[in-house]
Amino acid sequence: MGYPDQRFDVNLSILFTELPLLERPAAAAAAGFTAVELWWPWIDDPTPEQAELDALKQALDDAGTRLVGLNFYAGRLPGPDRGALSVPGEESDRFRANIEVAAAFAASVGCTALNALYGNRIDGVDPAVQDALALENLTEAARAADRIGAVLLIETLNRPESPDYPLVSAEAAIEVVDRVNAATGLGNAKFLLDLYHLSMNGEDLGRVIAAYASRTGHVQIADNPGRGAPGTGSLPLERLLDELTKAGYEGRVGLEYKPGDRPSAASFDWLPATARAAR
């Protein structure tokens, strides 16, 4: 047990950001990783030119890295936005336009996990209206994911950093997972269990793991406080990941932490180099 027995991937939207996007897969590979994940890389464009998509695919291929997780379009992230799918008007339209683009790109690189951030509550809009729009858009996203053999991930964020985001408990995300699966009958909506966000919400992490490991499609980690690398805060991440394994979780663990004031490549000293390549 322990870190060396986990299947890690590197989030290239929060690590190696000192480099241009197309150089990050090679940097991750140089650090010993062969699996990576990304937020939607084109924050202002849900439907980029095919040449941009092809260039990213080539960079992944050239580095020998596999993309194992991809966000749908989520607005300005990092930034003030936390998704687009429940935001009426232009943002919802942009999410809808992105669904097939993101799914097609994921299929082209063998990525089988697509994350759909719910979106913030909007002043003056009835939450029930937003939730109905969200279910409509998530249903379409789940169907698109299913067509490429992928799961649709629903993520809990944390209230201190995302006060307008409605999914700030494990149960809130699980409720959305259940609604989407009931609407589609596909069963491919899963929980994205982010130990950092859940800890920021003050949740009992052992309870969440025991209750929802079987419903979890992906895990992400960062230490708390600070959202840094494991060992920079007080979360017992190694023990918690062991608990997930014992509870039956066999998926990947995304490293979604800030490297601090050092280069990203220097932030992996907590993980033996022999444990970084995908298995």
Active-site annotation, residues = 155, 256
Strands (E), the chain: 8-11, 35-38, 66-71, 113-115, 151-155, 189-194, 216-221, 253-255
Beta strands at 151-155 and 113-115: parallel, antiparallel or unpaired:
parallel
Helix (H) or strand (E) holding 136: helix 127-147
- Tokens standing for 135? 């279910």
Measured CA to CA, the distance from residue 16 to residue 59 in angstroms comes to 14
Measured between alpha carbons, how far is 157 from 154 in angstroms, rounded to an integer? Answer: 10
Peptide bond into 160 cis (omega under 30): no
**What single string gives the DSSP state of each residue in 112-130?**
-EEE--B----TTS-HHHH
